[in-house]
Amino acid sequence: MNHIRQERILHYIEQNNIVTIKELQALYPDVSLMTIHRDLQALENQGMVVKVRGGARSVRHTGDPGFDVRMQENNTGKASIARKALELIQPNSSVFLDASTTNLVLARSLPDISLNIFTTGPSIALELCRLHNPVVTVCCGAINRKNLALSGQNTLEMLDKINIDLAFIGVSGCSVEAGFTCGTEGDMLVKNKVIQKARTSVVLCDQTKLSRLMPYTFARLEDVDYIISDGSLPEPFVQAAKQANIKLL
């Protein structure tokens, strides 16, 4: 029976790339949480899956879709998030934009005001070149050709030396259990460092990212100050955010 259940769990994970423990519990409501964890451990021991915080992923999963693909996803939602984000930006402040496609949409919407802008997104820096007043600094590092994000030791060392009033952080996945997740270790380290440095941290999370799980957790709900979404959030998530004193926009 264990073998049959584990084969079904494996098939489900391979179909969905990444799944949460909660999803697997819904598939097998009569099976204990401990048993599901044992099944996942057995599958990982066989090299079939990789356990991640709050769930597991297929060994075939390669992380986030490419930048070009993500730029075609939910552009209406990203524009809605960008409009809300603009309300938080004050002239003469220091702003960080990570390399997310939502931040690229935000960069296209920024007014020509005096700002110090730091970014790990070369595409975002090029977009900001249309403006005359912001000082734009690209945080150095190695570029990931798939998501066009800079990361690495040089990036982390540079972030240590700058002061950030307001940081806008994109996510690849978001859930109460796993927190805010992304697809690569490099992105995880950068996003985590930025949240530590920023006076105010703002997570940009469109509806497509809710309850999606990615391999690396870079922050928990209580680590950030704002969540901006493009629509109403599920009530359990809203309650958890309120308990963590997060402002929802």
pLDDT in tens, 190-224: 999 999 999 999 999 988 788 677 888 999 999 99
Cβ-based burial of 236 (10 A; exposed 0-12, middle 13-18, buried ≥19):
exposed
State the pLDDT at residue 197: 96
Query: Cβ contacts of residue 196 below 8 Å, gap of 6+?
Result: none
Alpha-carbon distance of 149 to 121, in angstroms, equals 5
Predicted confidence at residue 93, as pLDDT, reads 97
Confidence grade of residue 170 (pLDDT, cut at 50, 70, 90) = very high
Compare 235 and 72 and report the one with higher pLDDT: 235
Q: Which domains does the chain have, with CATH numbers?
A: 2-58 (1.10.10.10), 67-248 (3.40.50.1360)
Give 162 or 26, the one with higher predicted confidence: 162
Calculate the average pLDDT of the chain. Answer: 88
Reference 228, options 148, 155, 168; nearest CA is 168
pLDDT tens profile 219-241:
999 999 999 999 888 888 899 99
What local confidence, expressed as pLDDT, does residue 64 receive? 59
- Exposed/middle/buried for 196, CB within 10 Å: 0-12, 13-18, 19+? middle
| Percent of the chain scoring above 90 in pLDDT | 54
First to last CA, the chain: 47
3-state secondary structure of 101: helix
pLDDT for res 62: 53
Task: State the pTM of this model.
Answer: 0.76
